[in-house]
Structure 1
Amino acid sequence: MTERTATEAGLDVREVTVRHMASSRGESGGPAAVSGVTFSVDRGEVVALLGPSGCGKSTLLRAIAGLQPLSGGSVQWSGDDLARVPPHQRGFGLMFQDAQLFAHLSVAKNVAYGLSAQRVPRADRAARVAELLELVGLPSSGERPVTELSGGEQQRVALARSLAPRPRLLMLDEPLSALDRGLRDRLGGDLARVLRATSTTAILVTHDESEAAAIADRTLRMRAGKLFDS
């Protein structure tokens, strides 16, 4: 394997182990949910974690995000260990199966939420929101209430909101699994297009082989907390 350049270097997960809590006091001495997982994601690359429910995919994602403590190993970005970096300072984005939009806000205000938190100037926020709504196929929808959107439209808004702050890594946890098959196939193609158009580095968690093949550049298979060769 050739060594990555500084420009290519992105995420490195090294021998990561995450254990279930062993007691109600939150001690992490139980069985391993993730065991000795090692992989890397280059900048601009989309990698799928493929496996059945309960195999540890989402737990691994939470550990990378800093939302789950590691029992062993390390998570690094561009060679820097993130052990002491809190989740909100890692520059990572998360998108879930449930769009988790703010029902009291319009489409545009949902997309702009992260930009507002970053104190991005109003004109720059508006330009970024318009750019992303065009990219996800919802132009001129900024003033619509999110409660009037279909499930597929809500996921498009959630994707735009996740991309708005330009995360250095976007983690997608089964983002299409709540949709019917036809809509999943259409949105899967759109998701792949948008990720590449924005040069987004991403990890996609899925149990769907065809979804992984349609969206990701590379697929890693996971079973019983470990990666294995296909």
Structure 2
Amino acid sequence: MALFLNNVAFSSTHKPLLRSTPSISNPKQNLQISQKLTFSLAESVSSATLVALLSASLFFVHPALAFKGGGPYGQGVTRGQDLSGKDFSGKTLIKQDFKTSILRQANFKGAKLLGASFFDADLTGADLSDADLRSADFSLANVTKVNLSNANLEGALVTGNTSFKGSTITGADFTDVPLREDQREYLCKVADGVNPTTGNATRETLLCN
């Protein structure tokens, strides 16, 4: 007589007898398992491929679409690009990076450009009228013949050889802009008007005599 405990049989002679477990062979069940594994593998590969494609697309955005969304919220690249004549008017471009870009005759009228960088950019003939340029960086930028009418440049940076020659600054606010003395003297010769947003007179913000 044998006793069974946890699939181990003990005979009356105390010699353990292993109880065999019958194998189950179900072709239909095996096929279903195989199909599930195949589908799971295909789904993983598809997801990985999609992620790779989306990641790659971030590096190949056409410059004409670069301004959409603006700054850290946009998906475009505006640094080191030729964006001459592009229309950015009224766009929200907070902290947007335009470093070393060519922006000749670009339209930024009424754009929100707080903290944007125009470091070493060429803005010749661009329209920045009514733009919010607080804390923007114009270091080494070419701001020749630019329309800065009624723009708010409070706290903007203009270090280096930033040139404002031929620019219109009627109503522009230069509060706390660290200008070189030669820059200040030049701007004071053409300064006039009052900024409609801050109520500050352009000449006063430039500390003109």
TM-score (structure 2 length as normaliser): 0.27
TM-score (structure 1 length as normaliser): 0.25
Higher strand proportion: 1
